Homo-oligomer: A and B are copies of this chain.
Amino acid sequence: MYSFANDYSEGACKKVMDALIESNTVQTPGYGVDMFCRAAADIIRKKTACENIDVHFIVGGTPCNILAISLLRSHEAVICVNSGHINTHETGAVEATGHKIIAVKGVNGKITPEEIRKAVSLHTDEHMVKPKMVFISDATELGTIYTKDELKQISDTCRELGLYLYLDGARLGNALVATANDLSLKDICALTDMFYIGGTKNGALFGEAMVIRNDALKADFRYLEKQRGAMLAKGRLIGVQMLSLLEDDTYMNNARNANVMAQALRYIFNQAGIRMYVDSPTNQIFPVISNSLLRKIQAKYIVTPWQKFDKKHTVVRFVCSWATTKTAIQEFYNDLITYVNEK
């Protein structure tokens, strides 16, 4: 069984693995205050063109989101789209820190300034939570990406309304190398208050780099990191991996492979007359597949049924990663042709 189920089915890309091996016996202080973490932070400062950021290396994406939102006071709430990861797939992690999520309608997984304004306008007094942060992800949970203009407008709206803008970058690489993308890491940093660069889904064994640009959010972050169990004893492991990914083009190349492979799958589906549920330019695609075809595919491939489309069709998620090979795609192509022709 070959898996297109997600982008964390394998371990780390070769360069990251080599860096871990090479640094393995070096002694460093614990908890992320080592030279590898410092070097990785410095590279991120350069790539974001922002000397003044704080960078923290966190063990995973859910901990990042928990930490970001635990910066709020308890009556302050976070706005996100209905399909946002924190609203759907983190077992109430945000609420477990005491905060309400104000879920709003998204457009293909993306939030709009209008929905943000509406959410704020509906929360008028102390009998309601106070919206204070907007959560977005890029690429989104539906594989879509924000344009520079869209992000600029969201950012402007947040600043006007006194909201922090936090970006979940679990698949930031996939967004930044997408064909239609016009955002850079510098833009991301300048337009948000806080975001993270995802490692887990783009070539690391695990680990994300949290970037805090807004001074108001910087104080005592390491206390929260420890308190929430998100600080690794051997913190240097994340530094080593992030350094390895970001010191050259590895991070972008990994993401590019994921996108190219997924877009090849999309092309294959199109050839077979199968349409997409949403127009995603990144490494996740969502073909609408007849249930009979899906059963055939699932005999040989692991994929994720996303939601019911109609009685006879299902939206299915296919994900590619840095590890997906041309061979796998070619084989899937052959299989799909066979399955379709069997009808």
Residues of A in contact with B (beta carbons under 8 Å apart): 2-3, 5-6, 8-12, 17, 20-21, 23-31, 59-63, 66, 70, 73-75, 77, 88-93, 95-101, 103, 126-130, 200-201, 205-206, 220, 222-234, 237, 302, 323
B9 touches A17 (CB 8 A): no
Residues of B within 8 A of A231 (CB): 62
Closest to A129 in B: B92
B220 touches A234 (CB 8 A): no
Closest to A8 in B: B233
Residues of B within 8 A of A28 (CB): 9
B229 touches A66 (CB 8 A): yes
Instruction: Tell me, in angstroms, the Cα distance from A302 to B29 when the chains sit together.
Output: 9
Instruction: Tell me, in angstroms, the Cα distance from A230 to B265 when the chains sit together.
Output: 33
A130 touches B220 (CB 8 A): yes
Cβ contacts A to B, 29 pairs, < 8 Å:
A3-B29, A5-B29, A6-B30, A8-B233, A8-B234, A9-B30, A10-B24, A11-B25, A11-B234, A63-B229, A73-B224, A74-B227, A75-B220, A75-B224, A75-B227, A89-B128, A91-B126, A93-B226, A95-B95, A95-B98, A96-B98, A96-B227, A96-B228, A126-B222, A126-B225, A127-B226, A129-B223, A206-B233, A228-B229
Q: How far is the CB of A216 from chain B (nearest CB, A)?
A: 13
Q: How far is the CB of A274 from chain B (nearest CB, A)?
A: 24
Instruction: Tell me, in angstroms, the Cα distance from A206 to B236 when the chains sit together.
Output: 11
A10 touches B26 (CB 8 A): yes
Instruction: Tell me, in angstroms, the Cα distance from A126 to B10 when the chains sit together.
Output: 22
B24 touches A20 (CB 8 A): no
B323 touches A25 (CB 8 A): yes
A25 touches B8 (CB 8 A): no
A223 touches B60 (CB 8 A): no
Tell which of A25, A61, A100, A227 has the most Cβ of chain B within 10 Å.
Answer: A227
Instruction: Tell me, in angstroms, the Cα distance from A201 to B234 when the chains sit together.
Output: 9
Tell which of A96, A101, A232 has the most Cβ of chain B within 10 Å.
Answer: A96
Q: How far is the CB of A135 from chain B (nearest CB, A)?
A: 15
Q: How far is the CB of A98 from chain B (nearest CB, A)?
A: 5
B30 touches A11 (CB 8 A): no
Residues of B within 8 A of A229 (CB): 59-60, 62-63, 66, 93, 228-230
A24 touches B11 (CB 8 A): yes
Residues of B within 8 A of A237 (CB): 11, 205-206
Instruction: Answer whether A75 and B60 are a contact pair too, CB < 8 Å, given A6-B30, A228-B96, A233-B8.
Output: no
Instruction: Tell me, in angstroms, the Cα distance from A126 to B224 when the chains sit together.
Output: 8
B233 touches A61 (CB 8 A): yes
Q: How far is the CB of A2 from chain B (nearest CB, A)?
A: 7
Residues of B within 8 A of A95 (CB): 95, 98-100, 129
Q: How far is the CB of A332 from chain B (nearest CB, A)?
A: 14
A234 touches B200 (CB 8 A): yes
A130 touches B75 (CB 8 A): no
Residues of B within 8 A of A29 (CB): 3, 5, 9, 302
Instruction: Answer whether A228 and B93 are a contact pair too, CB < 8 Å, given A126-B220, A130-B220.
Output: yes
